[in-house]
Every structure is written in structure tokens, then in C-alpha cells.
């Protein structure tokens, strides 16, 4: 993997950006390079220098997690942004979504998934003195911005750190996102991230202390694969 900065990088179409009240510093929950390329370009253009927080224990299997993580690290370095990679602690994520395995995308499992990821982000922001946090989770047209925002505001409520609910699709960022995916030649992801989105909701995880297995297809998910 070797990313090269496209020659036209830096000219965001989102020329107007109003900072939230009291803005001093920003922690951004990032899920992958394709979702955040156009947003990071926008930050560069507006002289915002965020720290990127790659907290995504939902991503399965470990090899997929590492691919997305490593590309995000490479992009962060290329753009000169600080980044934080918290522990890949998937067991508690599986426990949190237990019973929601058959939910469709945009359903209740995704609400739990977003809320968990954004609450951990907000907790880190609080501990390390960031004035605001935001996320690139709603940049994809497959995601429900209202659902992501509800998770962001729940995390704000839990921690007291303000959630910046800017719409990172507006101002031409969706078109720019797809241009940059092509220009950077980012890794082509085929599913949202979790095992359920990977297998079209056919997996049902049975979580024990030592193993996670699918009770439908009997696939064993080795604890070492999921960081448990």
C-alpha cells in the first residue's frame, strides 16, 4: 500500500464552514480512508488540525480491520494529521449487539454500534481536553445521518463534550469523496464492517468467554481473529 497525494488535492468544494461555538480543538472518529478523504481535505483547506481517532471494534475479521486501519494511518501521515489507534477490543462490541444480529443496516444494531463508537470517542476527547468531537460515519450515502447524529448527541450527553454535527456530505463533499477514492485508489471495501454486514445478516454470534461462533452456519470465529 502506498498512497500518493493527487495533484488537485487541497481544493475542497466546501468553501463555507462555520465553526461551532467555543471551538478550540477537534477529535474526529474515523472509520476508513474512503469515508474521510474529502472531510480531511476540507479540514486542511480551512486550517483545522484535528486528531483522528480510529475506534472501530465492529470491523471483522481482524485482517479487514488491519487493512482499513493501515490505510488510515498512511493517509494521516501523508496529510500530517495526528492519529490515535485504541485497542481492537471486539468482545464487548459483540456483547453490546447481542440479540440484534438479524437487524438490517440502519436498524437497531447500527444505533448501538454508532453510539458505542462515538461514546468512546467522546470519552477520549474529554480525558484529553478536546473542545469538540465529530465523526466521518455519515459521509457515505448508505448511512442515515439522523441516526449517526443521535448517537453523537447521546455521547455528548454522556460526557459533556460537544458533538459537532456538521453535515460532511453537503457543499459538494459527496462528489469529492468519490473523486478522491478513485484518485488515491483507496482499498475497495465490500461491506460496512461487522460480520453481519459481511455475511448479509446470516451469522448469529454465540458469545462465550472463550469463543464466538455463528449458530447458523457453525462458523467459528477464533478469539484471536477478533482481538478477544
- Known binding positions for [4Fe-4S] cluster: 31-32, 110, 113
Q: Is 122 in the site for ligand SF4 (CB under 6 A)?
A: no
Show the cell assigned to 44: 486542511
Q: Is 197 in the site for ligand SF4 (CB under 6 A)?
A: yes
Q: Is 194 in the site for ligand SF4 (CB under 6 A)?
A: yes
Cβ burial, residue 100 (10 Å; 0-12/13-18/19+): middle
Pairing of strands 212-214, 220-221: antiparallel
Q: What is the nearest approach in angstroms of ligand SF4 to the Cβ of residue 57?
A: 10
Q: Is 58 in the site for ligand SF4 (CB under 6 A)?
A: yes
- Closer residue to ligand SF4, CB minimum distance, 79 or 226: 226
Contacts of ligand SF4 in 173-192 (CB under 6 A):
192
Rounded Cα distance between 214 and 130, Å, is 40
Q: What is the nearest approach in angstroms of ligand SF4 to the Cβ of residue 211?
A: 20
Nearest to 133 by CA among 165, 111, 157, 110: 165
Q: What is the nearest approach in angstroms of ligand SF4 to the Cβ of residue 197?
A: 4
Q: What is the nearest approach in angstroms of ligand SF4 to the Cβ of residue 75?
A: 20
Q: Is 162 in the site for ligand SF4 (CB under 6 A)?
A: no
Q: Is 155 in the site for ligand SF4 (CB under 6 A)?
A: no
Q: Is 116 in the site for ligand SF4 (CB under 6 A)?
A: no
Q: What is the nearest approach in angstroms of ligand SF4 to the Cβ of residue 99?
A: 13
Sign of the dihedral defined by the CA atoms of residues 69, 71, 73, 79, in that order? negative
Q: Is 57 in the site for ligand SF4 (CB under 6 A)?
A: no
Phi, psi at residue 154, to the nearest 5°?
Answer: -65, -40
- Name which position in 32, 113, 180, 226 contacts ligand SF4 (CB under 6 A): 113
User: H/E/C letters for each residue in 73-108?
Assistant: HHHHHHHCCEEECCCCCHHHHHHHCCCCCCCCCCCH
Cβ burial, residue 60 (10 Å; 0-12/13-18/19+): buried
Residues forming the site for ligand SF4 (CB under 6 A):
58, 105, 109-110, 113, 192-194, 196-197
Amino acid at each position: 500500500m502506498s498512497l500518493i497525494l493527487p495533484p488537485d488535492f487541497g481544493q475542497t468544494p466546501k468553501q463555507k464552514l462555520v465553526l461551532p461555538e467555543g471551538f478550540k480543538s477537534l477529535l474526529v472518529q474515523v472509520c476508513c480512508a474512503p469515508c474521510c478523504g474529502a472531510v480531511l481535505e476540507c479540514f486542511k483547506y480551512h486550517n483545522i488540525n484535528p486528531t483522528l481517532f480510529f475506534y472501530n471494534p465492529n470491523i471483522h475479521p481482524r485482517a479487514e480491520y488491519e487493512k482499513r486501519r493501515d490505510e488510515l494511518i498512511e493517509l494521516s501521515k501523508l496529510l500530517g494529521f495526528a492519529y490515535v489507534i485504541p485497542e481492537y477490543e471486539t468482545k464487548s462490541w459483540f456483547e453490546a449487539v447481542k440479540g440484534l444480529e438479524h437487524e438490517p443496516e440502519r436498524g437497531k444494531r447500527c444505533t448501538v454500534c454508532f453510539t458505542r463508537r462515538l461514546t468512546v470517542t467522546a470519552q477520549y476527547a474529554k480525558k484529553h481536553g478536546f473542545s469538540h468531537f465529530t465523526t466521518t460515519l455519515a459521509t457515505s450515502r448508505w448511512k442515515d445521518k439522523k441516526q449517526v447524529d443521535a448517537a453523537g448527541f447521546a455521547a455528548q450527553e454522556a460526557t459533556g463534550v460537544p458533538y459537532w454535527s456538521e453535515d460532511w456530505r453537503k457543499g459538494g463533499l459527496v462528489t469529492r469523496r468519490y473523486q478522491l477514492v478513485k484518485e488515491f485508489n483507496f482499498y475497495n471495501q465490500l461491506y460496512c464492517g461487522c460480520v453481519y454486514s459481511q455475511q448479509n445478516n446470516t451469522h448469529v454470534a454465540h458469545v462465550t468467554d472463550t469463543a464466538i461462533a455463528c449458530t447458523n452456519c457453525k462458523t467459528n470465529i477464533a478469539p484471536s481473529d477478533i482481538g478477544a
